[in-house]
Chains A and B, each alone.
Chain A
Amino acid sequence: MRDTSYAAVLSRKNEVMKASLGIDYDTYVSSPVAFDYERMMAETGYSLDDIARIQAETKVGNTPLYELTRLTEAVRSTAAPGKGARILVKDEAANASGSFKARRASISAYEAKKRGYEGVIAATSGNYGAGVASQAAMRDLKCIILQEVFDSRGVGQPEIVEKSRACEAYGAEVQRLSVGPELFFILLKTLEETGFFNASLYTPFGIRGVETLGVEIARQVRERYRRDPDAVVVTHAGGGNLTGTARGLLAEGCTGTRVVACSVDLAGLHMASDRDFNRKSFTTGHTGFGVPFATWPDRVDVPRNAARSLRYMDEYQLVSQGEVFYVTELMTKLEGLERGPAGNTSLTAAVTLARQMERDQVVVVQETEYTGAGKHHNRQLSFARENGIEVRVGDPAENVPGKTIVLPASLEMVRGRVQDMDKLRRSYLKNAAKLYPAEKWSDADVAFLAADVKKDAAWVRRAAEDLA
């Protein structure tokens, strides 16, 4: 009988991945720190038109782009004369399952069906699970979703409990687990047991599915405003949303559009801590994922991550939990749109950006997500109170993740703050050097790393010298 201990299952990682994805990552790898990214993406075999057609079959894509006129007016009233860009939002909640994650799941489900797999599996506590379950339902595939849901007291994060419900509603088997990174072990074990397709968030299929989002934004903005979007803001966690959207924008020729990442600042909270688990009011879109995934993408459940955010990122904004809840409530009241926290993270950064931009410019918030019981910002705040977190109105600079949530007293106080991009890039290179010493980097390695941090080879060489 096969050994199913933690260590034994993990040691079979590569063979499990090969069987469950049909991708041999070794064929793309050229050194410990470099691989042929573009060839890996191209060899999915789908054109952008193919992807749009496949997505249309399963109720994905062609979502509305709304101008938030009242919110824009409110921001202009806090801006210098002539400032205050139009804020647009791509209403991704209109996809089947209620978020952009349907795009990410759609091509994996199609591929799994085409290649004769009986079912699909994904390890995710977020909207992606519902996306996979919903797409699997339409493709008549079995679906298993593995989720980190509850702490050692048995208390579930309400947002994740809602995701469990949604996945079961779409007919999936939902395995609800306690806090810990061993979700990956369960994933490998379940892939081995079932022979199902690995609908990982980070495969080329997942990321290519998001490209249509960037394409649609480019086309909708050009048609209505006769210009390219000046900035597109993306809620950033694992990097797939940003990577896919930016690739779609580039495919449409939007080379001048600023791609801005935004995460909720959860500095100080440990992502694998049982105690901290229910002291977070955000389950994704936060720095606990956003920073480590930006500075080393290949920490995921596939050998090489197709989501490589620093390759496409121009800026990275941080916002506090209180600022996002404030803007979520404000959008509900001013725009008549009740949406969930993930998309509204980037909306919060868009408020800050729009205030600094010219009036004739356009900033696009590229997603919304559904909201409801468990996910709603009122539930997240009441849950925080139940867990001993102080919630009050004041200056958002006084937010302390895990201790205090401060709702801004006014829109002027929604400020966010910018992260140092070069520091993130150097941190990425430091991680690369840990894996393979910088003095061994060939010209081809440096060229890959330069592309992966959106800089030139000379910059990488200089930064590598500083590391030494």
Chain B
Amino acid sequence: MNVAKGTWVEIESVVLKPEERAPGLPEDTAKTPYVLRLSGFLTEEAEIGQEVAVKSLIGRTHRGVLRAVNPSYDHSFGATVPELLHIGLREG
């Protein structure tokens, strides 16, 4: 699927490979790459998975792999935790 120029997208890039990372990291972190995700407006038509450039909200250009089109925030209030509901009630 072609994504049109100007579309709001998310890119991902590896900033540091595991061997380039800071010294002294815990083992679990040290074996993972240091990864950046950023949203911006696509500068040229492209496809998901391609190396692309985007312009951020303040107009700076960043390069990375196109990973999402029209990225959105879906964080929520979560599944109800019933234990909370009893707090502060006059029960008995």
Contact = CB atoms under 8 A, between A and B. Distances in A.
Interface of A: 5-6, 119, 142-144, 149-150, 152, 156, 158, 161-162, 164-165, 168, 171-182, 185-186, 194, 270, 272-275, 325-326, 329-330, 332-334, 373-374, 376-383, 385, 391-393, 407
Interface string B47-76: 000000000111110000000000001011
Interface residues of B, number: 37
A185 to B, nearest CB: 7
A172 B58 contact: yes
Interface in B31-48: 32-40
Given A175-B36, A180-B34, A272-B26, 11 more contacts: A150-B35, A168-B57, A175-B38, A179-B29, A186-B15, A274-B32, A325-B84, A378-B84, A385-B79, A407-B84, A407-B87
Nearest to B25: A272
Given A173-B58, A272-B26, A407 B83 contact: yes
A376 B89 CA distance: 19
Contacts, number: 135
B34 A182 contact: yes
A144 B40 CA distance: 13
A155 to B, nearest CB: 11
Given A6-B22, A152-B32, A180-B29, A382 B78 contact: yes
B36 to A, nearest CB: 6
Nearest to A333: B88
B87 A374 contact: no
Contacts of A374: 75-76
B88 to A, nearest CB: 3
A380 B84 CA distance: 12
A379 to B, nearest CB: 4
A273 B57 contact: no
A391 B58 contact: no
A333 B81 contact: no
Ranked nearest first, the 3 interchain pairs of A and B with the lowest CB-CB distance are A382-B78, A333-B88, A374-B75
A329 B59 CA distance: 42
Nearest to A393: B83
30 contacts: A142-B59, A143-B58, A149-B37, A150-B37, A156-B75, A161-B73, A162-B75, A171-B57, A173-B40, A175-B38, A176-B37, A178-B32, A178-B33, A180-B34, A182-B21, A182-B22, A272-B29, A273-B26, A274-B26, A274-B28, A329-B88, A332-B88, A333-B89, A373-B75, A378-B80, A378-B84, A379-B75, A381-B78, A382-B79, A391-B83
A275 B34 contact: no
Given A143-B58, A181-B22, A274-B32, A174 B88 contact: no
Contacts of B37: 149-150, 176-177
Contacts of A172: 57-58
A248 B65 CA distance: 48
B75 A180 contact: no
Contact of A173 (B34, B60, B73, B81): B60
Nearest to B35: A178
